[in-house]
Amino acid sequence: MKAHDSLVDFAEYLQLPLQVGESIVMMQECNASCAIYIGKVSGKQSALTFRGTIAAPVAKEILRCTRLGRNRIEIAGQVFRFLRRATYFEDRGAVVFDPV
């Protein structure tokens, strides 16, 4: 699967956490953006590290270009492998990208 331009931002989030065995959590849209957290997805949102936000259209493009389950995606010449799953954190839904 080839990446679209909007996924280049996502690649920055994918690089480090997936290499060290942590997950990326993209929260459900709120105020036209999605919060991004990194860490071990063990239960409480407070255990995750906030890394910033991405615009809702970029988040939608990420979801469009990936699928639930195992993914292999090329972004800016680099191949990423991860498992995408859905979860629920405290007050809203979220998408988790786990290393494989």
pLDDT tens digits, one per residue of 29-68:
999 999 999 998 876 777 889 999 999 999 999 999 999 9
The number of folded domains in the chain is: 1
DSSP, res 45: G
Q: Residue 66: inside a domain, yes or no?
A: yes
Q: For the segment 1-30, what is each residue's pLDDT rounded down to a tens digit?
A: 444 667 887 888 888 777 778 899 999 999
> Is there a domain that residue 2 lies in?
no
Residues of the domain holding 53: 7-99
Residue 17 inside a domain? The answer is yes
Task: Say if residues 10 and 84 touch (Cβ distance below 8 Å).
Answer: no
Within 13 A of 41's CA, how many CA atoms are on the CB side?
A: 25
Residue 74 is part of a domain; what is its CATH number? 3.30.450
How far, in Å, CA of 62 to CA of 31, rounded? 18
**Helical ranges in 7-79 per DSSP H:** 7-19, 56-65
- How many Cα atoms sit within 13 Å of 44 on the Cβ side? 2
Report the distance separating Cα 77 and Cα 40, nearest Å: 27
